[in-house]
Amino acid sequence: MMIIPSSSSKTPVRLTDLPTREPIRFVVYRYKHLYVAQGSHLTVVAPGGHVVHHELPFSPSTWASYGGSMVVYDRYQGGAQLAGISLSTISVRSMGEDRFSAPYATLLKNGEPVVGGVPKLLDSEFNGLMVQEEGASLSLPVQQRHLPKLKVAGAMVEPTGYLLFFQDSKTFSLYNGTSGYLSFGKPPAVLVPYAYPEQGLLAAGWDQGYACSPDMAVSWRLRRLGGGGVMTERAVMRVSVDKGVEVFEGWW
């Protein structure tokens, strides 16, 4: 795949300006929708460029997605379940020790589903992927796989598989059992994973660009965009406080 870089003479497509100058906490693209969190502001860009701004009663610090469902939340403040651009459920802290989580993008408060009668679930998760620390290893109950105890930098899980990133160059990625290393650059503190199996694409968005692997996660290289890097099925986005949401179109 070839992507038009930020240094190209072609002007990127501007989708929208962001509603506030607050720092961006996270940017994530899931199910053809772009989510940008700034303090208690959540901007959602739908297919076709339709933009909705939500003001939440808490400040989301992370997210979880699974099978078309999306949750933005903070483990100690609250969470919100979304269906595309619409908020379907919001829950906030009512006691000092309330804890929120979103395994498989199901919003839980103190381990209990906020909506529905689903049995109580373990609430140790990372971006929706269930994890448990067991001694010196990290256990992924869904895949029944044990890994060296490394700090997770990003994770995603879908019914078809999973993608993890670690803060270690030699053990940088794990995609459905295939590991990969970072050949250029240092692992950022936080990475947003993207996987598009139909196109054979894997990517990692971060706050100064994106890392893209054209060879199925064997070798990765950091590539700078100068803003929150977002990989879509057909293009790369750049999101920044100064320039809002921009699109750099690409092709195969």
Q: Are residues 121 and 30 in contact, defined by beta-carbon separation less than 8 angstroms? A: no
CATH of domain 2-251: 2.130.10.10
Render pLDDT for 143-174 as a digit per residue (tens, 0 to 9): 555 666 778 889 999 988 889 998 889 889 98
Predicted pLDDT at 146? 60
pLDDT at residue 131 greater than cutoff 90: no
Which amino acid is present at 135? G
pLDDT at residue 230 greater than cutoff 80: yes
Of 178, 168, 130, 128, which Cα lies nearest the Cα of 148? 168
Share of the chain above pLDDT 90, in %: 49
Alpha carbons 124 and 143: distance in angstroms, whole number: 15
Predicted pLDDT at 139? 61
* Residue 177, burial from CB neighbour count under 10 angstroms (0-12, 13-18, 19+): exposed
Confidence of residue 226 (pLDDT cuts 50, 70, 90): confident
pLDDT at residue 133 greater than cutoff 70: no
Predicted pLDDT at 116? 80
Domain boundaries, the chain: 2-251
pLDDT at residue 221 greater than cutoff 60: yes
Alpha carbons 41 and 54: distance in angstroms, whole number: 6
Render pLDDT for 175-211 as a digit per residue (tens, 0 to 9): 888 889 999 888 988 899 999 988 888 999 988 888 8
Predicted pLDDT at 78? 97
pLDDT at residue 112 greater than cutoff 80: yes
pLDDT at residue 67 greater than cutoff 50: yes
